[in-house]
Amino acid sequence: MAAVSLLACQAFWLFPVDVREPAAEVAGPRVSLVAMSINAELGGADAAGIVALVREERVDLLAVEEYTPELARKLTAAGLDGLFPHRVAHARDGAGGTAIYSSYNLAETGVLPNTQFTMPVARLDLGDGSGSSLRVVAVHALAPVGDGLDQWRKDLATVARADNGSGPLLLAGDFNATYDHREFRALLAGTGGSRTMVDVAASLGSRLVPTWPMRGYRLPGIALDHLVTSPDITGSGYSVHRVERTDHAAVVATLTIQVP
């Protein structure tokens, strides 16, 4: 009996229950869009599969990590440019490139400083006629392995500081972090930023749905890829999708943004 009790305690520690609070009812206009993020594993992900998923899920905003020049060409050939006339793209060979594609007007406002991989920041025009916008950061933190641990911590701290405390914000990408990492929990708690943030998957009870590894490793699946928002954004319809030739899954959700 004692062994069963200890096992239950261990399970609760490893897999605590997600707390889902109902979204606050806020008066005023709202804009909804579907966001997706995918780590393309050194640009090797199936471009046609990415485009098919974008069409199927009616995605409005796409963040791609490990975005290479070759993948950019393949995505164009598969028809992505016709779906997304706007993009901020930093193609790099290897793992360092990142891109943001959008069906909404998009303007680059910079990149996060001193990160291992490129993390572009963009302003997305919500198109509601009021000039309201969504700040988007495409996130790709270095993996916390070996000599990369210190840089990973710096990367997450830099991502946290991307929040300026006002206006809707989306952090989308491969954080290489789960709730088991205090650095990720600190980011959500607002440490280093100005507000508490919301992990869309956790807010909808899907925190334990794995996004990695989808292939290539005999390891328990964990959630490294996240859509994290400011509290003036409500998430719904969160889902995880396998894409061929990458070890990360795509994450997709509908974001409803409170417009000032």
Residue ranges of the domains in the chain? 26-258
Contact 188, 207 (CB under 8 A): no
Quick one: average pLDDT of 230-242?
Answer: 97
Q: How many CB atoms lie within 10 A of CB 98?
A: 29
Per mean pLDDT, which of 17-21, 22-26, 72-76 is the most reliable? 72-76
Dig out the tokens for 19 from the structure: 């707390």
Q: What is the CA radius of gyration of the chain?
A: 18
Name the token pair of 70.
């070759």
- pTM for the model stands at 0.91
C-alpha neighbours within 13 Å on the C-beta side of residue 112: 27
pLDDT of 11 higher than 90: no
Residues 6+ apart with CB under 8 A from 63: 35, 36, 37, 38, 98, 99, 100, 136, 138, 139, 172, 173
Strands (E), the chain: 30-39, 61-65, 86-90, 98-102, 106-111, 120-125, 133-140, 169-174, 198-199, 225-229, 233-241, 250-258
CATH of range 26-258; options 3.40.140.10, 3.30.230.70, 3.40.50.300, 3.60.10.10: 3.60.10.10
Residue 216: both structure tokens together = 């290539």
pLDDT-derived band at 6 (thresholds 50, 70, 90) equals: very low
Q: Span 243-248, mean pLDDT?
A: 98
**Amino acid 22: pLDDT:** 42
When pLDDT is cut at 50, 70 and 90, the band that residue 23 belongs to is very low
Cis peptide bond N-terminal to 213, omega within 30 = yes
Three-state SS for 147?
helix
Q: How far, in Å, CA of 35 to CA of 172, rounded?
A: 8
Q: Which two tokens stand for residue 33?
A: 């869009």
Convert the pLDDT of each residue in 80-102 to its tens digit: 999 999 999 999 999 999 999 99
How confident is the model over 106-159, as pLDDT tens digits? 999 999 999 999 999 999 999 877 789 999 999 999 999 999 999 999 999 999
Helix H segments across the chain?
A: 2-14, 47-57, 69-77, 80-83, 149-160, 182-189, 200-203
Report the alpha-carbon distance of residue 38 to residue 35 in Å, rounded. 11
Q: For the chain, first and last CA: distance in Å?
A: 56
Q: Which DSSP symbol is given to 161?
A: T
